[in-house]
Structure formats: C-alpha cells, structure tokens
Amino acid sequence: MNKETVNLLCKQFGISMDTIKLVETAEAEIQPVFRRYDDIAEYNQLKVLKAFHDCRISDTVFAWNNGYGHDDPGRDACSRVYAGALGAEDCIVRPTICDGTHALACTFLGILRPGDELLYCSGQPYDTMQTVIGLRGDGNGSLKSYGVSFAQVDLTPENNIDLEAVKAAIGPKTRMAALQRSLGYSWRHAFSIEEIAAWVSACKSVKPDIICMVDNCYGEFLDYKEPTEVGVDVMAGSLMKNPGGGIAEGGGYIAGRADLVEMVSYRVTAPGIGGDCGLMYDQTRHILKGIFMGPRTINGAIKGAALCSKVFQLLGFETTPRAEAPRNDIVTAIKLNNKEQLIEFCRAIQSAAAINAHFTPEEGEMPGYPDAVIMASGSFAQGSTLELSADGPIREPYIVYFQGGLSYWHSKLGVMAAVQALCSRGLIG
C-alpha cells in the first residue's frame, strides 16, 4: 500500500500500523493464489460473454410487460443466458424467488412426490433447509407433510463425501440424491467440481435414473466448470450471491435438465403455467448485468476470503479453507475462542460496510434458524452475501463466516477492521 492509502487507513478508519503490516505480510504470501483466481475469473468472464453472444442478446430485452407477462422478452433472455453460462439444458430465473432457500424448496417440492425419498449426501442439511424438509418446526408445508421421506449420509471423519456409504444408502424409493456444495454453518471444505463428479458417478452406478441435485449457493464461477457440466441433473442458487454480481436486486435460479426445470417451474408459478408467465418487474437489466459482472466481482470476493483466512492463520486461529487451499465457495470460516470474539468480529465488519455502517449488530432469533444468530450485512441489496458480510450462530465452537465484498479492497478493509477491533478490545494479542 502506498503512503496515501496508509495515511487514510490510519487517520480516517482507525487502523493501526501493526494491523496494516500484518495484512501486507499475508497479502504478499498469497500472491500465487491470487494469480490462480485471476486465471479462473478470466475464463469465466469469456464463458459468460459467449453465452450472451450465442443468445443474441439485444437491448430490446430490457423492456418488460405487465399483467401476466406473456412473451416477456427479458424473462426468456435471462433463462437462456443463465443456461448457457452454467452449461445447463434449461434454466428458470426469477426476481420473485426470495432467496437460496426458496429456490431449493421449489426444486425439492417441484420434483419429489409422495413416497419418494430424498437422500442428503453432505451430512446435516443447512439450518433453513431443515424446516423445508420437515426435520424441525411444525412440518406444515414441508416435504415430510407431503409424504416425502428423508435419509442422511454423514461425511467421513476427514469431511469428505462418503461415496461407499452413499451407494449403500440408495434404495428403491430414493428418487433424489442431494449435495450442499458450500460449507453452510459447518466446519468443512466446500466440495470441488471433481468431488461432485465422483459423487454423481457413484450415485448413478447404483441407480442410473436417480436425480442428482446440488445446492450451488456460493459456488458459481469458482472453477472452470459448473456442477451441471459434470453430470448433475439440477441445481439451484441465489442471485444475492455469486451469479447476481452484486447488481441483481434479488431473485434465484434453478438450472439443469429441461424436464426437471419444467417441473420446478410449476412450483415457482403454477401447474400448467410454469415458465410461460410471470413478470420480471424491470429487473432484466440488473440480472443480466449481474451475471456479466459476476466473474469479476467473485474474483474480488474470493481474494478477500483468502486474505481473511491467511491473516487469521497468522494470528493463530484455525480457518477453513486455509488460504493456500483450493476454494469452491466464497466463504472463510474462522474458529474463534468465545462469544465475545464472534460478536466483535461481526460488529467490525458492519462498521466497514457502505450501508448502515453506523448500526451495531446484535444477536437475535432469525426465521428458520434454531439458534440465535448475529449477522453483519451493510449491503445495497438486503441480505446480499456477495457483498461484505459476516455472520454466525451463537453456539459453540463460535465459528464466524466471512464472505463477500464487491471489490477486493473492500474485503481487505473488512479484514483490517476485524483485526483492529479484536485487538482494541483486548480480545486478541
């Protein structure tokens, strides 16, 4: 960093020289990692651009209809571009999909039928998915209430997919095998494309017609291929994460085999209507610009995640993934020592936000979560975790999940703010 930047950090943001030197040391050590991320980002930028060219996108698609939205040009354009960029037969993209949990729920409820079994192959489902499945809550509207059974295969002691256990668990009623790519609120690595491909192969070696489904939240454009390009039948994600590029104001997508996407579309709208109706509410421009900008924005976020991991490794904390390890989502998990460190970390991230930086996050109950949660998210789009954010459940072992940043420099400031706050409060040496 040049002296002007250092002076600004010290005088305007209250960052000490010790913190700046620590971050500069970490940054220097992981430059080879950054170069690897740059190569992947460049490839994906070209891949997305090719999807725009193949779909012959023109500015006429930014117009939008009203009422039923018949023949809305933007709706079709978004679906075709997403399908091309994600290597899928078809895709449904809607601003009316609330979040990743909604996209996943539509996928499960659209495809599975009474008597089917859903087999989760990545251990316990993410907190909000447990209510969708019917593992928690009153079960009203859950898969369980519709007669869909559930089975779970735990990961190996090394937190890898237990392929032999997965094969043994597939039975006559197992219609869908599901995998959560990101770590969620757990302590493991996110699954790579190679691991996902091996999982698909294992599942289909037992039952060729089994539907392999991936929760791809936080995983888009982090490798040269997407899950749908290595045999996954259907996947879902949120536009408030990677593919929205920090520009989409909300929404979600479901991509995969055309017949499965059609089934899901009946849940997004209604049977018999599917993807042929529904307004884009003037969001087409934001959604298309978001996926175009996605690879670059993700590049900054993933560099920030690696920097965060390296800095806290140097401070003596356990992190996953480690800074030098391959990354398959944009999240860095840090195992802190106590509740106070978790809360102070999140408050520091909030203080570095562009929006609501003057707010102070407090722990509290959140819909769909069994424990109190603290969340820092001063974002342009509410809840956007591609923007600088941090959160964690208030439970042992007090893991904080750091993600996002619309630019690397913003992520970097977030890391410095967290270190400075913990040092100033005497919570770390």
Band (137; pLDDT cuts 50, 70, 90): confident
Nearest Cα to 221, choosing from 355, 366, 380, 330?
A: 330
Predicted confidence (pLDDT) at residue 139 exceeds the cutoff of 90? no
| Range with lowest mean pLDDT among 71-75, 176-180, 266-270 | 71-75
Phi then psi for residue 368, to 5 deg, are 90, -5
- Residues 1, 24 contacting (CB under 8 angstroms): yes
Average pLDDT, the chain: 96
pLDDT one-digit tens code per residue, 203-225 = 999 999 999 999 999 999 999 99
Residue 271: Cβ-neighbour burial (10 angstroms; 0-12, 13-18, 19+): exposed
320-346: average pLDDT: 96
CB-based contacts of 110, cutoff 8 Å, min separation 6: 263, 264, 265, 266, 267, 268
Nearest Cα to 184, choosing from 80, 286, 63, 100?
A: 100
33-52: average pLDDT: 98
**CATH number belonging to domain 50-291:** 3.40.640.10
Select from 3.90.1150.60, 3.40.50.12280, 3.40.50.300, 1.10.287.180 the CATH code of 3-44+296-424: 3.90.1150.60
**Prediction pTM value:** 0.94
Predicted confidence (pLDDT) at residue 56 exceeds the cutoff of 90? yes
317-333: average pLDDT: 96
pLDDT one-digit tens code per residue, 85-113 = 999 999 999 999 999 999 999 999 999 99
Domain ranges within the chain, ordered by starting residue: 3-44+296-424, 50-291
- pLDDT for the residue numbered 369: 80
**Proportion of the chain above pLDDT 90, given as a percent:** 93
Q: Amino acid identity of 260? A: L
Predicted confidence (pLDDT) at residue 312 exceeds the cutoff of 90? yes
Query: Residues, the chain, total?
Result: 429
- pLDDT for the residue numbered 64: 84
